[in-house]
Amino acid sequence: MREEKQEKKPETSLLDDVTDIIESIIFSVFIVLLVFTYLFRLSDVQGPSMEPTLKEKDRVVISPLFYTPEQNDIVVVNSSRLEKLIVKRIVALEGQSVNIDFEKGIVSVDGTPLDEQLYVPGENGSEPVLKAGHFVNTLTTADMGAFESYPVTVPEGCVFVLGDNRNRSKDSKHPELGFVPENEIVGKVVFRLSPVSKFGTVK
């Protein structure tokens, strides 16, 4: 009888090990789902509106938890007006005044021009050094007709957003979008996963 009991011990030990592995896998999957449901989300960039900062098919990580909009943040918006997810840069918050001089291509907030830099690669295609708050692909010269005149004041509970590719972006200067309600902001873009050559934080 003692020999039979001793023979069963390895089987019991193996079963315990398998059970521990399964429990570890289930726990790990649960943690991953929890993280990517509440702490981080993944999104793919669609269209050229955020070039040169983000390009089409870039995969980015979004931080949605306890997010409070701040000027110059890049955010993902679940737009009820456009009925799709869009990626834009917050230019102004509620109560701030936005003025756009379409002749000079200058955007000002509360009377101060935005700290922007045109993206101009070097002769050999090298990346330019960022000396401003962010790059823009073009100056803001296309008035898309969202407002009869500028300056405009951002209403309570809303933000004013622009794409970095200013003249190819359906953003707050476009009549189909206009001011964006804060409750439609999914979260802030904090990291780029792909392409691998651009892997890293997003500014």
Whether residue 134 has pLDDT greater than 90: yes
Q: Sorting pLDDT into bands at 50, 70 and 90, what band is 136? A: very high
Domain-located, residue 24: no
Tally of domains within the chain: 1
Domain-located, residue 159: yes
Average pLDDT rounded to a whole number, residues 183-192: 94
Tokens of 119: 């993206």
**Residue 1: predicted pLDDT:** 46
**Residue 41: predicted pLDDT:** 83
CA 163 centroid distance within chain: 11
Q: Looking at the whole model, is its pTM more than 0.75?
A: yes
Domain-located, residue 144: yes
Tokens of 58: 């870039």
Domain-located, residue 202: no
**Residue 122: predicted pLDDT:** 84
Q: Cβ distance 185 to 75 under 8 Å?
A: yes
Domain-located, residue 112: yes
**Residue 27: predicted pLDDT:** 56
Can you give the residue range of the structural domain that contains 163? Answer: 40-195
Domain-located, residue 2: no
Average pLDDT rounded to a whole number, residues 100-106: 97
**Residue 10: predicted pLDDT:** 61
Domain-located, residue 200: no
Q: Which residues contact 20 (CB under 8 A, 6 or more apart)?
A: none
Tell me the CATH number at 94. Answer: 2.10.109.10
What single-letter amino acid sits at 71?
A: Q
